[in-house]
Amino acid sequence: MCQVDEDYGRDIRSADFLSISKQCVKCKVHTPAVLLRVGDPYCRGCFHEYFIHKFRAMLGKNRIIFPGERVYSFNFYYLNHSVVSVNSVYSICRSPGTLGCVGRPFIMLNGALIGRSLEDRHKTNTNIRVLFESTGFPFHIVPLEQVSAPSYFHKCIFLFTTVLLIVYCKLPTLVLTRPHMSGSNCASSYKVAVGKFDQNKSCAIQPSCQQKEPVDVSKVHTVQLQQLVTSVKTHTAREELLNMLRQHLLLHMARIEGYSKLMLGDNCTRLAVKLLSNISLGRGSQTALDTGFSDSRYGDVIAVRPMRDYSAKEIAYYNHLFNVPYVFISGLDSKDSIQRLTESFVTKLQTAFPSTVRTIYRSAYILHLLLCMPQSLMMLLCLCKLEAVELKTLLCYSCQLTIKDMVSGKGAVAGLVFFIGL
Protein backbone atom coordinates (compact mmCIF):
# COMPACT_ATOMS: atom_id res chain seq x y z
CA MET A 1 0.00 0.00 0.00
CA CYS A 2 1.28 3.49 -0.73
CA GLN A 3 2.54 5.44 2.23
CA VAL A 4 2.94 9.15 2.50
CA ASP A 5 6.49 9.02 3.79
CA GLU A 6 7.64 6.07 1.73
CA ASP A 7 10.87 6.56 -0.12
CA TYR A 8 10.42 5.75 -3.78
CA GLY A 9 13.74 7.21 -4.81
CA ARG A 10 16.07 4.40 -3.75
CA ASP A 11 18.15 2.65 -6.30
CA ILE A 12 16.44 -0.55 -7.21
CA ARG A 13 19.71 -1.88 -8.50
CA SER A 14 20.81 -2.60 -4.97
CA ALA A 15 22.64 -5.74 -3.98
CA ASP A 16 19.44 -7.07 -2.43
CA PHE A 17 18.22 -7.90 -5.89
CA LEU A 18 20.99 -10.25 -6.76
CA SER A 19 20.15 -12.85 -9.30
CA ILE A 20 18.01 -15.11 -7.13
CA SER A 21 15.97 -13.61 -4.36
CA LYS A 22 13.84 -16.60 -3.35
CA GLN A 23 14.97 -19.18 -0.87
CA CYS A 24 14.93 -22.93 -1.12
CA VAL A 25 11.41 -24.22 -0.67
CA LYS A 26 12.62 -26.97 1.65
CA CYS A 27 15.32 -25.62 3.95
CA LYS A 28 14.27 -22.00 3.50
CA VAL A 29 17.86 -20.97 4.10
CA HIS A 30 19.99 -21.45 1.05
CA THR A 31 19.81 -19.85 -2.33
CA PRO A 32 17.99 -22.06 -4.84
CA ALA A 33 19.81 -23.53 -7.79
CA VAL A 34 17.13 -25.60 -9.49
CA LEU A 35 13.54 -24.86 -10.34
CA LEU A 36 11.82 -28.22 -10.66
CA ARG A 37 8.26 -26.98 -10.73
CA VAL A 38 6.84 -23.52 -10.80
CA GLY A 39 7.20 -22.12 -7.30
CA ASP A 40 9.39 -24.98 -6.05
CA PRO A 41 13.01 -23.86 -6.16
CA TYR A 42 15.51 -26.20 -4.51
CA CYS A 43 18.99 -25.47 -3.26
CA ARG A 44 21.81 -27.77 -4.19
CA GLY A 45 21.81 -29.79 -0.97
CA CYS A 46 18.05 -30.23 -0.81
CA PHE A 47 17.96 -31.19 -4.46
CA HIS A 48 20.48 -33.93 -3.80
CA GLU A 49 18.40 -35.30 -0.92
CA TYR A 50 15.21 -35.05 -2.94
CA PHE A 51 16.77 -36.87 -5.86
CA ILE A 52 18.10 -39.76 -3.82
CA HIS A 53 14.96 -40.11 -1.78
CA LYS A 54 12.89 -40.33 -4.92
CA PHE A 55 15.00 -43.15 -6.26
CA ARG A 56 14.90 -45.12 -3.03
CA ALA A 57 11.18 -44.55 -2.67
CA MET A 58 10.57 -45.84 -6.17
CA LEU A 59 12.51 -49.03 -5.51
CA GLY A 60 11.06 -49.50 -2.05
CA LYS A 61 7.50 -48.91 -3.15
CA ASN A 62 7.58 -51.39 -5.98
CA ARG A 63 9.60 -54.06 -4.17
CA ILE A 64 10.92 -55.65 -7.26
CA ILE A 65 14.65 -55.22 -6.79
CA PHE A 66 15.74 -57.06 -3.68
CA PRO A 67 18.44 -55.83 -1.35
CA GLY A 68 21.86 -56.82 -2.54
CA GLU A 69 20.52 -58.10 -5.83
CA ARG A 70 22.68 -57.94 -8.89
CA VAL A 71 21.18 -55.71 -11.52
CA TYR A 72 22.13 -55.30 -15.12
CA SER A 73 21.56 -51.77 -16.22
CA PHE A 74 21.37 -49.96 -19.46
CA ASN A 75 20.98 -46.26 -19.74
CA PHE A 76 20.25 -44.09 -22.66
CA TYR A 77 18.64 -40.73 -22.70
CA TYR A 78 17.16 -40.07 -26.03
CA LEU A 79 16.05 -42.00 -29.02
CA ASN A 80 19.04 -41.28 -31.09
CA HIS A 81 21.79 -40.29 -28.78
CA SER A 82 23.23 -42.15 -25.90
CA VAL A 83 24.70 -40.14 -23.11
CA VAL A 84 26.72 -42.75 -21.34
CA SER A 85 27.22 -41.48 -17.87
CA VAL A 86 28.00 -42.93 -14.54
CA ASN A 87 24.38 -42.43 -13.93
CA SER A 88 22.94 -41.17 -10.76
CA VAL A 89 21.72 -44.71 -10.17
CA TYR A 90 25.19 -45.87 -9.36
CA SER A 91 26.10 -43.00 -7.14
CA ILE A 92 22.86 -43.56 -5.29
CA CYS A 93 23.57 -47.27 -4.98
CA ARG A 94 26.75 -46.36 -3.19
CA SER A 95 25.23 -43.84 -0.85
CA PRO A 96 24.65 -44.94 2.75
CA GLY A 97 21.20 -46.25 3.52
CA THR A 98 20.52 -47.63 0.09
CA LEU A 99 19.61 -51.26 0.02
CA GLY A 100 22.74 -52.09 -1.85
CA CYS A 101 21.53 -53.41 -5.14
CA VAL A 102 24.58 -53.81 -7.29
CA GLY A 103 24.34 -52.54 -10.81
CA ARG A 104 26.58 -53.41 -13.66
CA PRO A 105 26.46 -50.68 -16.26
CA PHE A 106 25.93 -52.03 -19.70
CA ILE A 107 26.99 -49.94 -22.64
CA MET A 108 25.86 -50.79 -26.11
CA LEU A 109 27.80 -49.30 -28.96
CA ASN A 110 26.22 -48.75 -32.31
CA GLY A 111 29.04 -46.89 -34.01
CA ALA A 112 28.95 -49.18 -37.01
CA LEU A 113 25.45 -48.09 -37.87
CA ILE A 114 26.24 -44.43 -38.16
CA GLY A 115 29.28 -44.87 -40.33
CA ARG A 116 31.86 -44.07 -37.70
CA SER A 117 35.38 -45.14 -38.44
CA LEU A 118 37.05 -47.90 -36.51
CA GLU A 119 39.40 -45.38 -34.90
CA ASP A 120 36.53 -43.25 -33.70
CA ARG A 121 34.82 -46.25 -32.22
CA HIS A 122 37.99 -47.35 -30.46
CA LYS A 123 38.37 -43.84 -29.09
CA THR A 124 34.82 -43.95 -27.73
CA ASN A 125 35.51 -47.33 -26.17
CA THR A 126 38.59 -45.96 -24.51
CA ASN A 127 36.74 -42.93 -23.18
CA ILE A 128 34.00 -45.06 -21.72
CA ARG A 129 36.48 -47.47 -20.22
CA VAL A 130 38.41 -44.63 -18.60
CA LEU A 131 35.18 -43.14 -17.33
CA PHE A 132 34.04 -46.29 -15.58
CA GLU A 133 37.47 -47.32 -14.40
CA SER A 134 37.83 -44.02 -12.62
CA THR A 135 34.69 -44.75 -10.66
CA GLY A 136 35.48 -48.34 -9.80
CA PHE A 137 32.19 -49.69 -11.09
CA PRO A 138 32.31 -52.94 -13.00
CA PHE A 139 31.04 -52.45 -16.51
CA HIS A 140 30.28 -54.27 -19.68
CA ILE A 141 30.73 -52.83 -23.15
CA VAL A 142 29.03 -54.66 -25.98
CA PRO A 143 29.00 -53.66 -29.63
CA LEU A 144 25.63 -54.00 -31.27
CA GLU A 145 27.16 -56.32 -33.85
CA GLN A 146 27.31 -58.95 -31.17
CA VAL A 147 23.65 -59.49 -31.73
CA SER A 148 24.78 -61.51 -34.74
CA ALA A 149 27.88 -63.03 -33.16
CA PRO A 150 28.08 -66.84 -33.05
CA SER A 151 27.88 -66.92 -29.27
CA TYR A 152 24.47 -65.37 -29.54
CA PHE A 153 23.13 -68.39 -31.32
CA HIS A 154 24.26 -71.04 -28.98
CA LYS A 155 20.69 -72.05 -28.34
CA CYS A 156 19.25 -71.26 -31.71
CA ILE A 157 17.77 -73.57 -34.18
CA PHE A 158 19.05 -72.72 -37.58
CA LEU A 159 16.69 -75.02 -39.42
CA PHE A 160 13.89 -72.54 -39.33
CA THR A 161 14.57 -69.72 -41.67
CA THR A 162 11.14 -68.36 -42.16
CA VAL A 163 8.77 -66.91 -39.68
CA LEU A 164 5.93 -69.06 -40.90
CA LEU A 165 7.72 -72.29 -40.10
CA ILE A 166 8.36 -71.14 -36.61
CA VAL A 167 4.69 -70.56 -36.05
CA TYR A 168 3.87 -74.21 -36.31
CA CYS A 169 7.00 -75.48 -34.66
CA LYS A 170 8.12 -74.83 -31.14
CA LEU A 171 9.49 -71.37 -30.72
CA PRO A 172 13.23 -71.20 -30.14
CA THR A 173 14.32 -70.94 -26.57
CA LEU A 174 16.51 -67.92 -26.85
CA VAL A 175 14.42 -64.89 -26.17
CA LEU A 176 10.92 -66.17 -26.55
CA THR A 177 10.94 -68.69 -23.78
CA ARG A 178 9.25 -67.70 -20.58
CA PRO A 179 10.81 -69.80 -17.86
CA HIS A 180 8.79 -70.62 -14.80
CA MET A 181 8.83 -67.68 -12.43
CA SER A 182 9.69 -68.34 -8.85
CA GLY A 183 7.42 -66.87 -6.25
CA SER A 184 10.20 -64.88 -4.66
CA ASN A 185 8.80 -61.54 -5.65
CA CYS A 186 6.02 -61.42 -3.15
CA ALA A 187 5.94 -58.80 -0.46
CA SER A 188 6.71 -61.18 2.39
CA SER A 189 9.89 -62.45 0.79
CA TYR A 190 10.91 -58.88 0.16
CA LYS A 191 10.60 -58.11 3.84
CA VAL A 192 12.63 -61.20 4.67
CA ALA A 193 15.30 -60.12 2.22
CA VAL A 194 15.43 -56.62 3.71
CA GLY A 195 15.71 -58.10 7.19
CA LYS A 196 18.57 -60.36 6.16
CA PHE A 197 20.30 -57.51 4.43
CA ASP A 198 20.04 -55.28 7.48
CA GLN A 199 21.30 -58.03 9.77
CA ASN A 200 24.32 -58.85 7.76
CA LYS A 201 25.24 -56.11 5.38
CA SER A 202 28.66 -57.58 4.85
CA CYS A 203 27.06 -60.49 3.06
CA ALA A 204 25.61 -58.22 0.45
CA ILE A 205 26.99 -58.72 -2.97
CA GLN A 206 29.80 -56.32 -3.55
CA PRO A 207 30.67 -55.03 -6.96
CA SER A 208 33.41 -57.13 -8.40
CA CYS A 209 36.28 -55.46 -10.10
CA GLN A 210 35.93 -57.65 -13.13
CA GLN A 211 35.30 -55.65 -16.22
CA LYS A 212 34.37 -56.98 -19.56
CA GLU A 213 36.00 -55.42 -22.52
CA PRO A 214 34.17 -55.14 -25.79
CA VAL A 215 34.65 -58.31 -27.74
CA ASP A 216 36.22 -58.12 -31.14
CA VAL A 217 33.60 -58.25 -33.80
CA SER A 218 34.46 -59.49 -37.23
CA LYS A 219 33.84 -57.35 -40.25
CA VAL A 220 31.32 -59.87 -41.48
CA HIS A 221 29.05 -59.16 -38.55
CA THR A 222 29.44 -55.44 -38.99
CA VAL A 223 28.55 -55.69 -42.65
CA GLN A 224 25.60 -57.94 -41.91
CA LEU A 225 24.25 -55.50 -39.38
CA GLN A 226 24.76 -52.55 -41.69
CA GLN A 227 23.04 -54.38 -44.52
CA LEU A 228 20.10 -55.23 -42.35
CA VAL A 229 19.66 -51.67 -41.18
CA THR A 230 20.15 -50.14 -44.60
CA SER A 231 17.64 -52.55 -46.07
CA VAL A 232 14.98 -50.62 -44.20
CA LYS A 233 13.55 -47.85 -46.32
CA THR A 234 12.14 -45.48 -43.76
CA HIS A 235 13.76 -43.86 -40.74
CA THR A 236 10.82 -44.86 -38.58
CA ALA A 237 11.22 -48.54 -39.33
CA ARG A 238 14.98 -48.22 -38.89
CA GLU A 239 14.53 -46.80 -35.40
CA GLU A 240 12.11 -49.58 -34.57
CA LEU A 241 14.47 -52.23 -35.83
CA LEU A 242 17.36 -50.81 -33.88
CA ASN A 243 15.30 -50.76 -30.71
CA MET A 244 14.31 -54.38 -31.24
CA LEU A 245 17.89 -55.46 -31.77
CA ARG A 246 18.91 -53.58 -28.64
CA GLN A 247 16.16 -55.28 -26.72
CA HIS A 248 17.21 -58.71 -27.91
CA LEU A 249 20.87 -58.14 -27.15
CA LEU A 250 20.14 -56.74 -23.72
CA LEU A 251 17.98 -59.69 -22.82
CA HIS A 252 20.47 -62.14 -24.20
CA MET A 253 23.37 -60.63 -22.28
CA ALA A 254 21.37 -60.48 -19.09
CA ARG A 255 20.57 -64.18 -19.38
CA ILE A 256 24.12 -65.16 -20.23
CA GLU A 257 25.47 -63.21 -17.28
CA GLY A 258 22.81 -64.54 -14.98
CA TYR A 259 21.08 -61.30 -14.09
CA SER A 260 17.43 -61.44 -13.15
CA LYS A 261 16.78 -57.72 -13.35
CA LEU A 262 17.40 -55.30 -16.12
CA MET A 263 17.50 -51.70 -15.06
CA LEU A 264 16.66 -49.25 -17.82
CA GLY A 265 17.38 -45.56 -17.69
CA ASP A 266 14.08 -44.38 -19.11
CA ASN A 267 12.93 -41.12 -17.62
CA CYS A 268 9.57 -39.43 -17.55
CA THR A 269 10.24 -37.36 -20.66
CA ARG A 270 11.45 -40.35 -22.58
CA LEU A 271 8.44 -42.40 -21.55
CA ALA A 272 6.05 -39.66 -22.64
CA VAL A 273 7.71 -39.71 -26.05
CA LYS A 274 7.55 -43.49 -26.14
CA LEU A 275 3.90 -43.52 -25.20
CA LEU A 276 2.89 -41.14 -27.95
CA SER A 277 5.14 -42.69 -30.57
CA ASN A 278 3.90 -46.17 -29.66
CA ILE A 279 0.36 -45.06 -30.34
CA SER A 280 1.44 -43.50 -33.62
CA LEU A 281 3.22 -46.69 -34.62
CA GLY A 282 0.30 -48.96 -33.88
CA ARG A 283 1.81 -50.33 -30.71
CA GLY A 284 -0.90 -49.13 -28.41
CA SER A 285 -1.39 -52.53 -26.85
CA GLN A 286 2.27 -52.69 -25.84
CA THR A 287 2.43 -49.26 -24.31
CA ALA A 288 1.71 -50.51 -20.79
CA LEU A 289 4.76 -52.77 -20.95
CA ASP A 290 6.93 -50.18 -22.59
CA THR A 291 6.19 -47.45 -20.10
CA GLY A 292 5.43 -49.22 -16.83
CA PHE A 293 7.77 -49.58 -13.89
CA SER A 294 8.36 -53.25 -14.49
CA ASP A 295 8.25 -55.14 -17.73
CA SER A 296 7.77 -58.85 -17.21
CA ARG A 297 7.29 -59.85 -20.81
CA TYR A 298 10.52 -61.85 -20.82
CA GLY A 299 9.58 -64.12 -17.96
CA ASP A 300 12.85 -64.82 -16.20
CA VAL A 301 14.31 -61.35 -16.65
CA ILE A 302 12.36 -58.38 -15.39
CA ALA A 303 13.10 -54.97 -16.84
CA VAL A 304 12.57 -52.13 -14.40
CA ARG A 305 12.57 -48.39 -14.89
CA PRO A 306 13.51 -46.84 -11.56
CA MET A 307 14.14 -43.43 -13.09
CA ARG A 308 10.71 -43.12 -14.61
CA ASP A 309 9.58 -40.47 -12.14
CA TYR A 310 12.46 -38.18 -12.97
CA SER A 311 12.18 -35.68 -15.75
CA ALA A 312 15.09 -35.33 -18.14
CA LYS A 313 15.68 -31.93 -16.63
CA GLU A 314 16.15 -33.32 -13.13
CA ILE A 315 18.64 -35.90 -14.33
CA ALA A 316 20.55 -33.37 -16.39
CA TYR A 317 20.73 -31.05 -13.39
CA TYR A 318 21.89 -33.81 -11.10
CA ASN A 319 24.57 -34.88 -13.54
CA HIS A 320 25.79 -31.34 -13.92
CA LEU A 321 25.61 -30.13 -10.33
CA PHE A 322 27.30 -33.23 -8.96
CA ASN A 323 29.83 -33.58 -11.73
CA VAL A 324 28.69 -36.91 -13.12
CA PRO A 325 31.04 -37.67 -16.00
CA TYR A 326 29.66 -38.75 -19.34
CA VAL A 327 30.58 -39.76 -22.87
CA PHE A 328 28.35 -38.70 -25.72
CA ILE A 329 27.67 -41.13 -28.55
CA SER A 330 25.89 -40.03 -31.69
CA GLY A 331 23.04 -42.13 -32.92
CA LEU A 332 21.15 -42.64 -36.14
CA ASP A 333 20.41 -39.48 -38.02
CA SER A 334 16.69 -39.85 -38.49
CA LYS A 335 15.10 -36.44 -38.24
CA ASP A 336 11.98 -37.40 -40.10
CA SER A 337 11.09 -40.52 -38.17
CA ILE A 338 7.88 -40.69 -36.18
CA GLN A 339 9.90 -41.17 -33.02
CA ARG A 340 12.00 -38.06 -33.55
CA LEU A 341 9.05 -35.94 -34.57
CA THR A 342 7.15 -37.08 -31.50
CA GLU A 343 10.13 -36.21 -29.37
CA SER A 344 10.30 -32.78 -30.90
CA PHE A 345 6.56 -32.36 -30.40
CA VAL A 346 6.71 -33.30 -26.74
CA THR A 347 9.64 -30.99 -26.12
CA LYS A 348 7.86 -28.07 -27.69
CA LEU A 349 4.71 -28.91 -25.81
CA GLN A 350 6.64 -28.82 -22.59
CA THR A 351 8.05 -25.44 -23.50
CA ALA A 352 4.68 -23.90 -24.15
CA PHE A 353 2.70 -25.85 -21.56
CA PRO A 354 4.81 -26.91 -18.58
CA SER A 355 3.75 -30.11 -16.81
CA THR A 356 2.30 -31.51 -20.01
CA VAL A 357 4.95 -34.18 -20.15
CA ARG A 358 4.01 -35.40 -16.70
CA THR A 359 0.38 -35.46 -17.74
CA ILE A 360 1.19 -37.68 -20.69
CA TYR A 361 3.42 -39.86 -18.59
CA ARG A 362 0.78 -40.31 -15.91
CA SER A 363 -1.57 -41.66 -18.54
CA ALA A 364 0.68 -44.71 -18.60
CA TYR A 365 -0.43 -45.51 -15.04
CA ILE A 366 -3.94 -46.29 -16.12
CA LEU A 367 -2.92 -48.64 -18.88
CA HIS A 368 -3.35 -52.33 -18.28
CA LEU A 369 -2.20 -55.38 -20.09
CA LEU A 370 -4.34 -57.79 -21.98
CA LEU A 371 -3.70 -60.59 -19.54
CA CYS A 372 -6.11 -62.99 -21.13
CA MET A 373 -3.77 -63.77 -24.00
CA PRO A 374 -2.07 -67.15 -23.88
CA GLN A 375 1.59 -66.88 -23.08
CA SER A 376 2.68 -68.86 -26.10
CA LEU A 377 1.45 -66.19 -28.46
CA MET A 378 4.38 -63.88 -28.21
CA MET A 379 5.39 -61.57 -30.94
CA LEU A 380 8.72 -62.49 -32.42
CA LEU A 381 10.28 -59.08 -32.74
CA CYS A 382 9.06 -56.92 -29.92
CA LEU A 383 8.39 -59.87 -27.61
CA CYS A 384 4.89 -58.74 -26.79
CA LYS A 385 1.76 -60.79 -26.89
CA LEU A 386 -0.08 -60.95 -30.15
CA GLU A 387 -3.15 -58.88 -30.56
CA ALA A 388 -4.87 -61.39 -32.83
CA VAL A 389 -5.54 -64.90 -31.63
CA GLU A 390 -5.47 -66.40 -35.10
CA LEU A 391 -2.07 -67.53 -36.21
CA LYS A 392 -2.20 -65.73 -39.47
CA THR A 393 1.12 -64.20 -38.74
CA LEU A 394 3.51 -63.94 -35.86
CA LEU A 395 3.99 -60.26 -36.34
CA CYS A 396 1.96 -57.59 -34.69
CA TYR A 397 0.59 -54.75 -36.74
CA SER A 398 3.48 -52.41 -36.13
CA CYS A 399 6.13 -55.04 -36.80
CA GLN A 400 4.35 -55.88 -40.03
CA LEU A 401 4.82 -52.26 -41.02
CA THR A 402 8.50 -52.45 -40.11
CA ILE A 403 9.00 -55.53 -42.24
CA LYS A 404 7.01 -53.93 -45.03
CA ASP A 405 9.50 -51.08 -45.07
CA MET A 406 12.40 -53.37 -45.81
CA VAL A 407 13.68 -53.00 -49.33
CA SER A 408 14.42 -56.52 -50.32
CA GLY A 409 11.30 -58.12 -48.95
CA LYS A 410 11.72 -61.77 -48.11
CA GLY A 411 15.50 -61.62 -48.21
CA ALA A 412 15.60 -58.90 -45.59
CA VAL A 413 13.13 -60.78 -43.45
CA ALA A 414 15.35 -63.84 -43.63
CA GLY A 415 18.26 -61.67 -42.53
CA LEU A 416 16.22 -60.34 -39.67
CA VAL A 417 15.29 -63.85 -38.62
CA PHE A 418 19.00 -64.61 -38.55
CA PHE A 419 19.65 -61.58 -36.39
CA ILE A 420 17.00 -62.23 -33.82
CA GLY A 421 18.23 -65.74 -33.43
CA LEU A 422 15.49 -67.82 -34.95
Binding site for other proteins (CB under 8 A): 12-13, 15, 17-22, 31-35, 41, 77-78, 81, 83, 269, 311-313, 315-317, 319-321, 326, 328, 330, 346-348, 350-352, 354, 357
Q: Name 106's bridge partners.
A: 74, 140
Q: Read out DSSP for 157-221?
A: -TT--SHHHHHHSPPPTTTS--PPPPSTTSHHHHHHHHHHHHHTGGGSPPPP---BPPPP--HHH
Q: Given 3-state DSSP classes, what are the helix, strand and coil percentages for the chain, each rounded to the nearest 5? A: 45, 10, 45
Of 151 and 351, nearer to other proteins (C-beta) is: 351
How many residues comprise the chain? 422
Strand partners, 142: 108
Residue 257 CA to residue 54 CA, distance in Å, equals 29
Identity of the residue, 38 or 187, whose beta carbon is nearer to other proteins in the bound complex? 38
Label residue 234 left, alpha or beta by phi (over 0 means left) and psi (-120 to 50 means alpha): beta
Q: Provide, rounded to whole angstroms, the least separation between the CB of residue 189 and other proteins.
A: 38
Q: Specify the DSSP element, H or E, that contains 84.
A: strand 82-85
Which C-beta is closer to other proteins: that of 77 or that of 190? 77
Question: Do 296 and 290 contact (CB within 8 A), yes or no?
Answer: no
Residue 333 beta carbon to other proteins: minimum distance, rounded to whole angstroms: 11
Tell me how far apart the alpha carbons of residues 143 and 163 are, in angstroms, rounded to a whole number. 26
Strands 40-42 and 34-37: antiparallel
Terminus-to-terminus CA distance in the chain, angstroms?
78
Nearer to other proteins, 197 or 317 (CB): 317
Q: Does the CA dihedral 414-415-418-420 come out positive or negative? A: negative
C-beta of 17 vs 158, nearer to other proteins: 17
Q: Could you tell me the smallest distance in angstroms from the CB atom of residue 311 to other proteins?
A: 6
Least Cβ distance, residue 312 to other proteins (angstroms): 5
**Residue 141 Cβ vs other proteins, minimum distance, rounded to whole Å:** 19
Nearer to other proteins, 179 or 354 (CB): 354
Report the residue number, 120 or 198, with the smaller CB distance to other proteins.
Answer: 120
Shortest reach from residue 59's CB to other proteins, in Å? 23
Minimal distance, residue 285 CB to other proteins, in Å: 27
